[in-house]
Amino acid sequence: MQTDNPIFDDLSKLANGLVSTLDSVRKECDAMVRARIERLAAEFELVPRDEFEVLKEMMLKMKTENADLENRLAALEKTSGKAKKTSKK
């Protein structure tokens, strides 16, 4: 036995409207927070993570290349120094 009770119908409609309104408020708050975070990130000149990782890899590669060049230069200086010493004698 189901009875049509207008009070329950009204409460149901009110609850559905409230849920819809709260969902809209949540979405608006999310958008406002996201906009504020993006503004702060731009103000502090932060970079996205993927750009940071690319730059990090480039720096590591450059550091390795620099170490290799330093080793080559040291080897050339040693051979150049030996050549100068032998030519002076």
Tens digit of pLDDT for each residue in 40-60? 989 999 888 999 999 999 999
Would you kindly state where each structural domain of the chain is located, as residue ranges? 1-46, 48-89
pLDDT given at position 9:
87
CA distance 43 to 62: 29
Chain centroid to CA 51: how far?
7
- Give the DSSP H or E segment for 30: helix 6-43
Q: Residue 85: is its pLDDT beyond 90?
A: no
pLDDT per residue over 7-38, tens digit each? 888 888 999 999 999 999 999 999 999 999 99
What average pLDDT does range 63-68 have in this prediction? 98
Q: Distances in Å between the alpha carbon of 9 and those of 1, 16, 17, 27, 74?
A: 17, 11, 12, 27, 88
Confidence of residue 82 (pLDDT cuts 50, 70, 90): confident
Q: Distances in Å between the alpha carbon of 85 and those of 4, 71, 76, 78, 79?
A: 111, 21, 14, 11, 10
pLDDT given at position 76:
93
pLDDT given at position 89:
54
pLDDT given at position 88:
59
